[in-house]
A and B are shown apart, each in its own frame.
Chain A
Amino acid sequence: MTKEEADNGRDDMVIDVPGQANAVPDGFNANYLRIYYGKLFPHADMFKWMSYGNDGKHPGCDKSYFGRREFSFTLENDIYIRFQSFNSVTELENSIKEKCPFKIDIGPVYSVDPAKRHAYAQSGNNVFTPVERELVFDIDISDYDDVRYCCTGADVCLECWPLMTIAIKVIDTSLRDDFGFNHILWVYSGRRGVHCWVCDGKARRLTNEQRAAIADYFHVYKGNENSQKKISLPGLVLHPFLARSYTEVLKGFFEAKLLPNQNLLASEERYEKILEMIPDASVASELRRRWQENKRASMSKDDINIVRWEQLKSILQSGKQKMQGLRRCVEEIVFSYTYPRLDMEVSRHMNHLLKAPFCVHPKTASGRTEQGRTKTRC
């Protein structure tokens, strides 16, 4: 289960449900951390990954490359030290074992060794600046709290984790098919979500503007607790990326899994949230009326959620609906429940520090580790 697998394409994505990784008995303490860094943390692999071939053994390699990468450590008592850099795997390993950081973050590769940054900042020519950095994405399960009723916050279970896996599928497919990236690593972020590291050379050299463009391309879910409508799909048809995501991933997942598992239409409190998304008040009241009368799907043995969803679809998608806003209403509902909710800020800037894979997260009591996962079966 290493990063090498990231290179091999993604036909079959296998997921390990977090929680089964490490058998750490009594909570968390620094001793276990020392043992972990001493025996388990993959220093050499980390070095090999971050070197991208510039390890001094290949012809034409840049020996300064690894040394220009910024790491940051969070130590005990929340002491935070930035601009750590190392010239070799030994330096890296020794520093980690000695300092025992509770958290390690990875930053960009700079134009010069971060340790020497002050000398260059004086010249005023912006000579100390990021030059390479993986394209990264961050998805948090806690951002889905309004659409899952089984857990909240950092809690995750088998019912709601699939929201993550379908988010991964949508983004991963697009990164490969649309953008042409190949070297993609998805990791459990150790607590409540996943991180994506796109490691192609082309990706590492993207400018901030280009990263923001990719983030915006993926940005469909917009809004917070104050906005009424978070997904808006104007236009007569969907862009091919959205259409593919809908037909290949989101629709199936929503109808077969999320809808029944989360009982999205079973109770008034829950179905009101969906009815609110219908711009035509008369359609919404018609459905409300039907569902209030029919508290139990007495006629059929089918799941009540599925029955009601079919009713909703048949009204909204019938040829009689002329109103502009209704055209894509069904898709909008599905998207608002299932479309990936990315943290835009993480992806936009080269100098964003992101937690390194293979860290042990201090706040995860059962000691789930962040492990490299590249295969996910949903």
Chain B
Amino acid sequence: MEVVQSQRKSSSNNVIVSILPLYRSAPPLEVRLEDFEFFAIDRLRVLKGLSDGLCRGKKPEEMEKLVLDLWKANMRHPQAVEEVNKDIISHFVLRLVYCRTEELRKWFLSMETTLFRHRFRWGSSEAQRALMSEFKLPYKAVSNAEFESLKDKLGQVARSMGQTLAAADAIFYKVPFEEVPDLVAGRRVFIHKGHAYVAINQVVSLVVTQFRSYLSKALILTNRKWTSTIREQEKDRLTPIVEALCTSYLGPDYSQQQEFGEISIKDIDQVAKTSFPLCMRHLFEKVKEDHHLKHGGRMQLGLFLKGVGLKLDDALAFWKAEFAPKVSAERFDKEYAYNIRHNYGREGKRTDYTPYSCQKIISVTPGIGDHHGCPYRHFSEENLRAALVRMGVSSRAVEDVMDKVHNRHYQLACTLTFEAVHGSSCDAGINHPNQYFIDSQRVLQSKNGSVA
């Protein structure tokens, strides 16, 4: 695959025919640099959404729907050719990103295999058969007549494994027994005259196993190539993109206020109580209490407030007022104002900084005297429980939240808190403090008919 900065030439000769690609080899396509990154990000949204769904223990039917929705939202394209190209290109870019450590490889392998399993199942029988022949699996569908004659035996095998032969599963494939040693060894198939009769879910299993084993080996090879040549060769072009991709936050960046226009200082106290996530509530309370916050806390809360809709002038006034008992006006203008202006992109290189996502907040470790970071991660159990109770979380919900905390699912804990406080579910899960805020405002508005 060649990455170019010019316009992409069409290469319709090399389009793969089957809809579900096997990613056997990098396609001979030219890709624009922007597409290199954007395609990967879209695919990453699908994989991370999958990961999230699995984490939350979604049932198989829910996962089916989730995968379909994620794919439609991020990877669909009206032209099949374009969709397939994006599919393949994004996969190969992510291989570069996720080949670099054992942990990354494991995650990527797991998600891509899950994605593949779902996409294989929702293909038509012809598509499935086509795929099986691409894997060089010599499977033949069992005719209806043959199925009828063997139905009893096939049912017996299913029941011997504690399963039933549902009508939906009545698709069987016939294959030489040599091809399925594991199924034979475990007596999980009916064999007759050298042929094994494999049920559709077993076929999926076998195909997926092949896919997984192939991808696993490919990732190791990719890693070797990456470390030995690509990383150095591409250090000015692709390498920075690749290295940034796996840690990137993928949601909206909340740098522009969207729905609720401006929030003024007089509103802050009120919305802090109702719509701030715990991390920001805590920082806010501490500012009020201590009349000071260290740098990490100022950044985390300050950028959050910017995302919430606080204008620069109001932000300056807010911090100045809160710090007033400890910091004189002149000292404030000298030592703190510059940084606040910097956050709003009015100083220095004029970058409009984006509020921190949960991922970023969770990853920092607050030191002595710090109050930033993620409280679900850093608070003692006692303090966390007390804080949740103060937020109005019921004792049963507190237990659920603590359970997530013990399992280190901090964002899920925050999501449960949201749900408990607002009495409504948050299916998407919390990934960003500003998302918490917006969702909260939405819920409250729909309840009260106004912004609380």
Instruction: With CB as the reference atom, state the residue of chain A lying closest to B188.
Output: A239
Name B185's contact: one of A216, A234, A239, A241 (CB within 8 Å).
A216
Task: Looking at the assembled complex, report how far the CB atom of B49 sits from the nearest CB atom of chain A, in whole angstroms.
Answer: 38
In the assembled complex, which residues on chain B have CB atoms less than 8 Å from the CB atom of A178? 191-193
B162 at the interface (CB under 8 A from A): yes
* A241 and B187 contact, CB distance less than 8 A: yes
Assembly CA distance A136 to B78 (angstroms)? 59
B156 at the interface (CB under 8 A from A): yes
* B160 and A238 contact, CB distance less than 8 A: yes
Contact with A along B160-195 (1 / 0, CB 8 A): 111000000000000001100110111100111111
Interface majority SS (helix, strand, loop, mixed), chain A: helix
* A236 and B160 contact, CB distance less than 8 A: yes
In the assembled complex, which residues on chain A have CB atoms less than 8 Å from the CB atom of B194? 179-181, 202
Name A235's contact: one of B162, B192, B195 (CB within 8 Å).
B162
Name B181's contact: one of A209, A234, A239, A240 (CB within 8 Å).
A209
In the assembled complex, which residues on chain A have CB atoms less than 8 Å from the CB atom of B161? 235
In the assembled complex, which residues on chain A have CB atoms less than 8 Å from the CB atom of B181? 209-210, 212-213
* A236 and B162 contact, CB distance less than 8 A: yes
A243 at the interface (CB under 8 A from B): yes
* B184 and A240 contact, CB distance less than 8 A: no
* A206 and B178 contact, CB distance less than 8 A: yes
Assembly CA distance A180 to B192 (angstroms)? 7
Instruction: With CB as the reference atom, state the residue of chain B lying closest to A209.
Output: B181
Task: Looking at the assembled complex, report how far the CB atom of B288 sits from the nearest CB atom of chain A, in whole angstroms.
Answer: 63
* A235 and B185 contact, CB distance less than 8 A: no
Name B153's contact: one of A180, A210, A212, A240 (CB within 8 Å).
A240
In the assembled complex, which residues on chain B have CB atoms less than 8 Å from the CB atom of A235? 159-162
Assembly CA distance A238 to B155 (angstroms)? 11
Contact with B along A216-236 (1 / 0, CB 8 A): 110000000000000000111
* B178 and A240 contact, CB distance less than 8 A: no
In the assembled complex, which residues on chain A have CB atoms less than 8 Å from the CB atom of B184? 213-214, 216-217
B157 at the interface (CB under 8 A from A): yes
* A240 and B162 contact, CB distance less than 8 A: no
In the assembled complex, which residues on chain A have CB atoms less than 8 Å from the CB atom of B195? 180
Interface size on B, residues (CB 8 A): 21
Instruction: With CB as the reference atom, state the residue of chain B lying closest to A217.
Output: B184
Instruction: With CB as the reference atom, state the residue of chain B lying closest to A243.
Output: B156
Residue with the greatest number of chain B CB neighbours at <10 A, chosen from A213, A238, A240:
A240
Task: Looking at the assembled complex, report how far the CB atom of A236 sits from the nearest CB atom of chain B, in whole angstroms.
Answer: 5
Contact with B along A187-228 (1 / 0, CB 8 A): 000000000000000100010011011101100000000000
Residue with the greatest number of chain B CB neighbours at <10 A, chosen from A179, A239, A241, A243:
A239
Assembly CA distance A214 to B190 (angstroms)? 13
A237 at the interface (CB under 8 A from B): yes
A269 at the interface (CB under 8 A from B): no
Q: Which of B174-220 contact A (CB under 8 A)?
A: 177-178, 181-182, 184-187, 190-195
In the assembled complex, which residues on chain A have CB atoms less than 8 Å from the CB atom of B185? 212-213, 216-217
Assembly CA distance A99 to B2 (angstroms)? 69
Contact with B along A253-290 (1 / 0, CB 8 A): 00000000000000000000000000000000000000
Q: Which of A162-190 contact B (CB under 8 A)?
A: 177-181
Instruction: With CB as the reference atom, state the residue of chain A lying closest to B178.
Output: A210
* B156 and A239 contact, CB distance less than 8 A: yes
Instruction: With CB as the reference atom, state the residue of chain B lying closest to A233.
Output: B160
Assembly CA distance A238 to B157 (angstroms)? 8
Assembly CA distance A236 to B109 (angstroms)? 36
Assembly CA distance A180 to B157 (angstroms)? 19
In the assembled complex, which residues on chain B have CB atoms less than 8 Å from the CB atom of A240? 153, 156-157, 190
Assembly CA distance A144 to B182 (angstroms)? 29
Task: Looking at the assembled complex, report how far the CB atom of B55 sits from the nearest CB atom of chain A, in whole angstroms.
Answer: 32
Task: Looking at the assembled complex, report how far the CB atom of B66 sits from the nearest CB atom of chain A, in whole angstroms.
Answer: 33
Assembly CA distance A240 to B160 (angstroms)? 9
In the assembled complex, which residues on chain A have CB atoms less than 8 Å from the CB atom of B186? 216
Contact with A along B283-306 (1 / 0, CB 8 A): 000000000000000000000000
A-B pairs with beta carbons under 8 Å apart, 20 shown: A179-B177, A179-B191, A179-B194, A202-B194, A209-B181, A213-B181, A213-B182, A216-B185, A216-B186, A217-B184, A217-B187, A234-B162, A235-B161, A236-B162, A237-B160, A239-B156, A239-B157, A240-B153, A241-B187, A242-B187
User: Can you name 4 extra interface pairs (CB under 8 A) apart from A179-B177, A238-B160, A239-B157?
Assistant: A177-B192, A180-B194, A206-B178, A210-B178
Chain B residues near A (Cβ < 8 Å)? 153, 156-157, 159-162, 177-178, 181-182, 184-187, 190-195
List 5 tightest A-B contacts by C-beta distance, closest first. A180-B194, A213-B181, A216-B185, A235-B160, A180-B193
Chain A residues near B (Cβ < 8 Å)? 177-181, 202, 206, 209-210, 212-214, 216-217, 234-243
